[in-house]
Amino acid sequence: KAGVTQTPRYLIKTRGQQVTLSCSPISGHRSVSWYQQTPGQGLQFLFEYFSETQRNKGNFPGRFSGRQFSNSRSEMNVSTLELGDSALYLCASSSGAGSNTGELFFGEGSRLTVL
């Protein structure tokens, strides 16, 4: 069974640009969550989608947005990039949501560098 696939794995952008990251969950998983990982801050929750609906949202500015498609694939977008957005963005999928959110399966992440 294929794992969670994130693309691109690495990207470099400049301040003010926008970026779109993609995540393909494990087949059959309907929940996709996004996390930002930076040294010292750990894993910061961005948002969670289940069956194309945003269920939870973290404390990030509106420049961070996401969506989920009918095939459970998800994208996140960051507009007007800032230097502080440089981070590893992790996507995780789960078979359920709410009390059925058991094990999260993470991808290897998309490493974004903003210059």
Give the number of residues in contact with another protein, rule: CB under 8 A.
27
- d(C-alpha 19, C-alpha 3), whole Å: 23
Interaction of residue 33 with another protein, rule CB under 8 A: yes
Interaction of residue 42 with another protein, rule CB under 8 A: yes
Interaction of residue 4 with another protein, rule CB under 8 A: yes
Min separation Cβ 94 and another protein, Å: 9
For residue 52, give the amino acid letter.
E
Q: Which residues of 32-43 are buried (b: 16+ CB within 10 A; e: fewer)?
A: bbbbbeeeeeee
Q: Where are the beta strands (DSSP E) in 1-115?
A: 5-7, 10-13, 19-24, 31-38, 42-50, 53-57, 64-68, 74-78, 87-94, 105-106, 110-114
Interaction of residue 35 with another protein, rule CB under 8 A: yes
From candidates 40, 53, 62, 70, binder to another protein by CB under 8 A:
40
Site for another protein in 71-110 (CB under 8 A): 90, 92, 97-109
Min separation Cβ 19 and another protein, Å: 19
Interaction of residue 52 with another protein, rule CB under 8 A: no
Min separation Cβ 17 and another protein, Å: 25
